[in-house]
Structure 1
Amino acid sequence: MAEGDELFPATPEKKARVDDHRAGHRERLRARFVKAGVDGVQDYELLELVLFRAIPRKDVKPLAKTLLDRFGSFADVLAAPRERLKEVSGVSDTVVTEMKVVQAAAVKFAQDNILHRTVLSSWADLLSYCRAATAYEKIEQFRILFLDNKNILIADEKQQTGTINHTPVYPREVVKRALELDAASIILVHNHPSGDPTPSRPDIDMTNRIVEAAGAVGIKVHDHLVIGRGQHVSFKGLGLL
């Protein structure tokens, strides 16, 4: 057995040295992040920084690497369902909450970049927000962005959620909500959890029904964005609108 096993328990002096090394690692990593930002750390190190607050006195590097191996990327870890995260040894409710706070902050940051701004001239920010809000969801969700007559975003709402490959959408409800908000136009957004943003036949048919219903009351549908992993499809760009 090595020192530290039951036959050779670690001395208080050695335990103190280990604790000092761990504390020093945390401070060095924080300092590197402060100096160089996200470009100065690897994904597992960024995840360590998130875990530091939830696990104050333990080496979290192995857990960070395990989470990345299990889920695939930093974003996938943050977006993973609570139940899946807690299947990983070492992940407590506190750890899960810390991750969900970071995920929510990222979505809120992206949302604030477009809310009350002219959306059609902030298209890159709009796409960033749509990806942050929907790309890593495990089930389909259908969102509507409501714009005023100057194309300023006045509201962003999740209209429906569905299954892994289908979301029921009712054109009447879409139009009703647009009228309640006094919106002049809308942008439709939904995600494909499979990662492939190619519109399905039901996606196209549903969009055509919404365009027809909205047009009947003078509301324009600017676009329908389908969000996948790292990519998106625009109905307008495909000539479907």
Structure 2
Amino acid sequence: MNSLPPKPKDKVHTGTGHRARLRERLLHGANDALLDHELIEYLLMLAIPRRDTKPLAKRLIDEFGGLAGVLSAPSDSLLAVKGMGKTSAAALKIAQLSALRLIQEPVKEQPILSGWAALLDYLRADMAHLTIERVRVLFLNSKNMLIRDEHIGDGSVDQAAIYTRQVIKRALDLGAVSLILVHNHPSGNPSPSKQDIAITREIAEAGRRLGISVHDHVIIGKEGHVSLRSKGLI
């Protein structure tokens, strides 16, 4: 009896020389020693040691539009790509988490308002490539040090709910004296909507009555960021 033909898959890897060259470039080269798809390839190689991971790396780059898109992609989306499994998805997510922890350190170690550039770098890395709208609030103490960076909700592709009562109550619970609102626009365009402006002013007014200041509302997108404070909208 003839057996069924094997399902198509990425070919078994036999190019140990190629992997050795990647490793040497990684260990001894500059920051740009590896191309974006080679970075993904090397991460996948560690998770799938017996397979040629270059085709899968290029497939992921094409699917998510680049390195940042791959690392920021939700686990479910990664697993939906042909050739990906839980181990390979976890390899990509640990790389993303490590990068975020690295750039988060300056945010934790100095007053937020004096480390604004570091904060924006962190927020862009974490939120610019999300495919859903996410809302977070940075709660600060009297020295403008970060008490808590809290994810308070997700929305659809074009909107996320920010509840004034929820934000102010959480600030009171944490003993925060000020806060910064942050959300992303999956469209890539960070320009504020009328709703963004209205809810910011509503939260600012509610906080003012209780001695809680809203320093800013920052909107993040692939095309950049917008500060409602710098636009004179708060």
Instruction: In structure 2, list runs of 5 or more residues that go unmatched.
Output: 1-12
**Number of residue pairs aligned between Structure 1 and Structure 2:** 223
Instruction: State the match for 2:102 in structure 1.
Output: 109
Instruction: State the match for 1:70 in structure 2.
Output: 63
Instruction: State the match for 1:231 in structure 2.
Output: 224
Query: Which whole-Å deviations, capped at 9, do the CAs of 1:112-169 have from their partners, x for residues lacking one?
Result: 2212421111111100111122112211111111111111111100112111111111
Query: Match of 1:183, SS?
Result: coil
Whole-angstrom distance in 2 between the partners of 1:133 and 1:32:
28
Counterpart of 1:100 (choices 70, 93, 109) is 93
Query: Which whole-Å deviations, capped at 9, do the CAs of 1:177-215 have from their partners, x for residues lacking one?
Result: 111111111111000111110100110000010000010
Contact 1:211 1:220 in 2 (8 A): yes
Contact 1:145 1:156 in 2 (8 A): yes
Whole-angstrom distance in 1 between the partners of 2:207 and 2:30:
45
Contact 1:225 1:234 in 2 (8 A): yes
Whole-angstrom distance in 2 between the partners of 1:115 and 1:161:
24
Contact 1:188 1:225 in 2 (8 A): yes
Query: Which whole-Å deviations, capped at 9, do the CAs of 1:20-61 have from their partners, x for residues lacking one?
Result: xx2221121121112224311111111112111111122211
Contact 1:116 1:154 in 2 (8 A): no
Instruction: State the match for 1:11 in structure 2.
Output: none
Whole-angstrom distance in 2 between the partners of 1:75 and 1:113:
21
Query: Match of 1:38, SS?
Result: coil
Query: Which whole-Å deviations, capped at 9, do the CAs of 1:1-28 have from their partners, x for residues lacking one?
Result: xxxxxxxxxxxxxxxxx73xx2221121
Contact 1:192 1:227 in 2 (8 A): yes
Counterpart of 2:41 (choices 21, 33, 48) is 48
Letter in 2 for 1:156: D
Letter in 2 for 1:77: V
Q: 1:161-176 residue pairs with structure 2 within 5 A?
A: 161-176=154-169
Instruction: State the match for 1:10 in structure 2.
Output: none
Whole-angstrom distance in 2 between the partners of 1:184 and 1:46:
43
1:123 maps onto 2:109 in alignment: no
State TM-score, norm by structure 2.
0.90
1:179 maps onto 2:172 in alignment: yes
Instruction: State the match for 1:3 in structure 2.
Output: none
Contact 1:85 1:96 in 2 (8 A): yes
Q: 1:8-23 residue pairs with structure 2 within 5 A?
A: 19=14, 22-23=15-16
Instruction: State the match for 1:194 in structure 2.
Output: 187
Letter in 2 for 1:78: L
Whole-angstrom distance in 1 between the partners of 2:153 and 2:67:
27
Whole-angstrom distance in 2 between the partners of 1:218 and 1:85:
44
**Based on CA coordinates, which of the two structures has the bigger radius of gyration?**
1
Instruction: State the match for 1:15 in structure 2.
Output: none
Letter in 2 for 1:59: D
Q: 1:213-224 residue pairs with structure 2 within 5 A?
A: 213-224=206-217
Query: Match of 1:199, SS?
Result: coil
State TM-score, norm by structure 1.
0.87
Query: Match of 1:143, SS?
Result: strand
Letter in 1 for 2:143: K
Computed over aligned residues only, the root mean square deviation of the Cα atoms, in angstroms, reads 1.6
Contact 2:189 2:223 in 1 (8 A): no
